[in-house]
Amino acid sequence: MEGTMRAWFITAPGKMEMREVPIPKIGPKDILFKVSYAAICGGDLPAFKKGSYLQHYPITTGHEFTGYVVEVGDEVKDIPVGLRFMGTNIQWCGECEACKSGNFFACDDVTRKGLGFGVNGVFAEYSVLHNAMLNISVYPLPDSINDLEGATCEPMCVGAGVADITGLKGGERVAIYGAGIIGQSILQTIKAQWPDCQVAMINRSTFRLDLAKQSGADYVISPTADKPAIDSLRELWGTSNYAYHYGPGKSEAVNVDVVYECTGNPDIVAECFHAVRNGGTVCLVAGYSDDYRAPIAPADLFFKSVHYAPGLAGNFAKSVQYMAEGKFKTTHLITHVFPLEELPKAFEAASDTKHSCKVCLKVDPAAPDYPYNKQD
């Protein structure tokens, strides 16, 4: 496809510029797509500010989107031009030990060439998915999901994936630290699959806690310097004994079965391990900088036999399915929509976590406008 497009490039930590560049060319296994709507991930902010996760400069970031296929490579047979979809860039080398054993998603190239981190992303009018594979990296969107909602299927896929790896069966007590869209995705997944679980959402932003109530939270907790969240959880569910720690004053653990950490704050990471019950599970879901150090008490690990569940996971297919079925709802979580040319303002809004949740971009000026929880 000939022509030029507008695209934002991060050129150095804290620096970005919009450029007019040629529409990218594609290879025989690739697809070119027009971006309708995109959304800002929490990981896009440290990528911009500090270069976290980025593999090179300059680069176009962004990986949450609704797109329309406009061109396909010669070897792409099952993805038609005109398809409306969400997805991501998934490439593997085929040569490493992981690939040779069939564990393709453990290949370094999957993250090294991730959309918006290793290859150019969707904060541009057009983008490319390399090695495009239907229902692996390309997921068609049904008519029941509009373009704006479609851009939130990617973050909602996190909850759709991690909720299944923490051993929930129904009836458990669950604490979620962080009421951004990742925490909300976990909450909505739990309520869709195990509605009898009791879920407490924890966040300093009362604005986000109000959104969590709409997402189905049973309890919301806004911690303060005088009363940390663990104290409120203990009042709610009581304490949990563990080896050599019995009763008030000895045990500070809470009768909480699973704790999800979605803030990225190292001190909160430590609090999660301190709060969870004997034999409970902690799942770390937020992005963490390499230089972060969490002050985890070894006694919390040793005496309580805490299980750890890795939270770098997602399930695109389930996210699209749940969104189509109405089990996932994100209209109330979308608080801002900016045009592509106002990406710097969008980043500012996304950084203001007291007054925002999911900040989106209307990349295609001709795309329809949709209702959302508009914040002035």
Same domain membership, residue 245 and residue 146: no
Same domain membership, residue 209 and residue 255: yes
Same domain membership, residue 60 and residue 171: no
- Distance (Å, whole) CA 11 – CA 60: 9
Provide the domain count of the chain. 2
> What is the structure's pLDDT at 89?
86
- Whether pLDDT at 284 is above 90: yes
* Within-domain flag for 171: yes
HEC string of 168-220? Answer: CCCCCEEEEECCCHHHHHHHHHHHHHCCCCEEEEECCCHHHHHHHHHHCCCEE
CA dihedral 34, 119, 323, 285 (to 10 degrees): -160
Same domain membership, residue 145 and residue 11: yes
Contact 353, 192 (CB under 8 A): no
> What is the structure's pLDDT at 289?
86
Mean pLDDT of 293-315: 94
Mean pLDDT of 90-108: 88
* Within-domain flag for 375: no
* Within-domain flag for 374: no
Same domain membership, residue 283 and residue 168: yes
The pTM of this model reads: 0.96
* Within-domain flag for 368: no
* Within-domain flag for 263: yes
Same domain membership, residue 191 and residue 139: no
Same domain membership, residue 199 and residue 288: yes
Mean pLDDT of 328-348: 98
Q: What CATH number does residue 24 fall under?
A: 3.90.180.10
* Within-domain flag for 265: yes
- Distance (Å, whole) CA 142 – CA 140: 7
Pick from 208, 60, 56: nearest CA to 128: 60
* Within-domain flag for 69: yes
Amino acid 220 reads V
> What is the structure's pLDDT at 18?
98
> What is the structure's pLDDT at 249?
75
- Whether pLDDT at 171 is above 80: yes
Q: Extract the runs of DSSP E, i.e. beta strands, from 13-164.
A: 15-22, 31-39, 64-72, 84-87, 126-129, 138-140
Q: What CATH number does residue 287 fall under?
A: 3.40.50.720
Same domain membership, residue 223 and residue 133: no
Determine whether 360 is exposed, middle or buried from the number of CB atoms within 10 Å of its CB (0-12, 13-18, 19+). buried
> What is the structure's pLDDT at 46?
95
Same domain membership, residue 227 and residue 92: no
> What is the structure's pLDDT at 315?
94
> What is the structure's pLDDT at 74?
97
Same domain membership, residue 302 and residue 233: yes
Same domain membership, residue 107 and residue 162: no
In angstroms, the Cα distances linking 226 to 192, 223, 231, 232 are 35, 8, 10, 11
Same domain membership, residue 26 and residue 120: yes
Amino acid 120 reads N
Pick from 192, 216, 187: nearest CA to 321: 192
Determine whether 245 is exposed, middle or buried from the number of CB atoms within 10 Å of its CB (0-12, 13-18, 19+). middle
Pick from 187, 354, 160, 336: nearest CA to 258: 187
Instruction: Domain of residue 306: give its range.
Output: 158-310
pLDDT band at residue 103 using 50, 70 and 90 as cut-offs: confident
* Within-domain flag for 136: yes
Contact 141, 86 (CB under 8 A): yes
- Distance (Å, whole) CA 134 – CA 147: 19
> What is the structure's pLDDT at 248?
75
H or E element at residue 7: strand 4-12
- Whether pLDDT at 376 is above 90: no
Per-residue tokens: 196: 């009898």
